[in-house]
Amino acid sequence: MILSTHAVTGAVLATLVPNNPVLGFIIGFGSHFVLDAIPHWDYKLKSSRRNKLEPLNNDLIISKDFFKDLLKIGLDAALGLFLSILLLGAIRHYSILIILCGAIGGMAPDFLQFVYFKWRHEPLISLQKFHIWMHAKSSLKNRPVLGIFCQVAVVVLVFVLF
């Protein structure tokens, strides 16, 4: 899933505990892995180096492409935060703190992947193994229109249900 989807879902779920930002973060963090278990589409990162035989050796190479990817990732995260605040803060009037805790929790596992790529120590090794294990074994990588539609549908469904 893209960060925007993780952010909005984490924020929506965090509003279930409107007086507990720490629990909101934890719920958002946990929702990340549930969403990643659903077959989905992700945008390509040119600085990404994948090792299909040993996914624990995947990496993001810091290069000219990395800074372009960082801009793409930053815009995605910013869109997720903006949508979360718009949908939940402005329309439903939830606390900005709880919204941000859930949204940041929802995106945190992907940010921690980057930390793992650059510092391969515990507890990041175990978290990365879990992240890989939870990730859907099939993908919509070659079907971006369907992949984007499915992520929008997930956000709408979570927003409506919760």
Number of domains in the chain: 1
Alpha-carbon distance of 122 to 129, in angstroms, equals 11
Q: Is residue 122 part of a domain?
A: no
Q: Which two tokens stand for residue 36?
A: 């990643």
CA angle 31, 34, 38 (to 5 degrees): 135
Give residue 59's pLDDT.
Answer: 96
Range of the domain at 98: 3-48+60-108+137-161
The DSSP code for 48 is E
Q: Is residue 53 part of a domain?
A: no
Give residue 129's pLDDT.
Answer: 97
For residue 159, pLDDT beyond 90: no
Q: Is residue 129 part of a domain?
A: no
Strand partners for 59: 49
The label of the residue with tokens 């903006």 reads: 82
Please give the model's pTM, rounded to 2 decimal places: 0.93
- Percent pLDDT > 90 in the chain is 80
CA angle 148, 151, 157 (to 5 degrees): 140
Q: Which two tokens stand for residue 52?
A: 């299909």
